[in-house]
Chains A and B, each alone.
Chain A
């Protein structure tokens, strides 16, 4: 076999060049997480995460930290150390996202992320978007990558348009937004005046790649499948607001694929925003720089069904093919 006894041990060292981040929705109504099973899903292509995880992108300056307190238990006249115990479990993660987009801004702001809908003629100016052009109804048979619309509605859209696809607001309270909870309403609003509210916040967005005689073909699949109760509206920009009350919550997966073989994954079943939106500037070559979205997240506990332990984060390691195991 190998002429070098260190060969297998040296492959225990993970050598990587990028950190990849993914998110998946948490059902906010029942706090149901999106599980990540290392055995079933661990070795996925980093460009094609297992559904429903969505690629956030390669991130910079990934740093995870634990503020869990370790306390001594002392007994006896001299207060000798008998044992230690953990209290106030606390874990955080932060990183910078160079690529801007809907999901990326949602994670960075930590609050409600707003789609600025195309405004109707004569609409008064508003910081988060004025009165919108009415939605076009999604027709039966639509899929995550093809939206069937009535012919007279198709002309409202063109290749390159960004679209938001979701239900009309019906006067409900609680979490709104299909696929992933996008906002929370503690008090009902007028459903007529706010009929577009769900589409203003939904994360169910994509871009039109092409328009056929009966449908819009999308460049990226919608995170949630469309149905005939939904409408489509054109999105001009994304906006988030300092001071918003809503907290984003996601299952977060961080993957460090090693070029040398093997992989390290950090899976946080539940993470909520831990800070408001801010950006981190990175110089490319003066005067060029890129503003990166800073993401700061706080882990919430879940119960591991295997043993009932309360868990904030799972770290998994997939050894390289020929690496020594210990």
Chain B
């Protein structure tokens, strides 16, 4: 399960760094590609940062296929923007569209190898995880200052095959 979460995140993070190197986030003084897994970060009570993708994991179920261990895990990617201060936030719609484009770029192709990043090496587990095309919610923000949305998708995976 954890390998699936990690592999999905690493795939999207790597793709984001290639597709839009300018989209970064600085956390604890370190700059990295602008996508984070909420459950992997220090709990914070304030609003989410703008122009960053936040990845949330949801429910998991096994699929009712005889002889198969295929599982499905819900994933939501939320993001928002306030636009740019240079434009007084009037470009938040355009900035949101740019984030939509980045998101659609990094979820393709909709598969990646599953690896165990538990020891930091990315040991291949011998299977592939794959996911659906994201469904994007209507654009809305926590306040009129923001424009944002949630993208929902389902990640399919097999329980670890070669994991020791």
Contacts and interface: CB of A to CB of B under 8 A. Distances in A.
Given A2-B160, A6-B69, A10-B70, A259 B126 contact: no
Contacts of A320: 127-128
Nearest to B131: A259
A7 B128 contact: no
B67 A261 contact: no
Interface SS of chain A = loop
A64 interface: no
A52 B128 CA distance: 30
B30 interface: no
B130 A7 contact: no
A2 B67 contact: no
Contact of A259 (B67, B111, B163): B111
Interface string B103-138: 000000011000000000000011110100000000
Contacts of A17: 110
Nearest to A260: B128
B68 interface: yes
B156 A10 contact: no
B35 to A, nearest CB: 22
A134 B29 CA distance: 68
A306 interface: no
B86 interface: no
A241 interface: no
A322 B162 contact: yes
Given A10-B68, A259-B110, A2 B162 contact: yes
A11 B164 contact: no
Nearest to A7: B161
A136 B110 CA distance: 45
A259 B130 contact: yes
Given A1-B164, A2-B163, A10 B126 contact: no
A1 B70 contact: no
* Top-7 shortest CB links A-B: A322-B126, A259-B130, A10-B68, A10-B69, A322-B161, A261-B128, A7-B161
Interface of A: 1-4, 6-11, 13, 15, 17, 259-261, 320-322
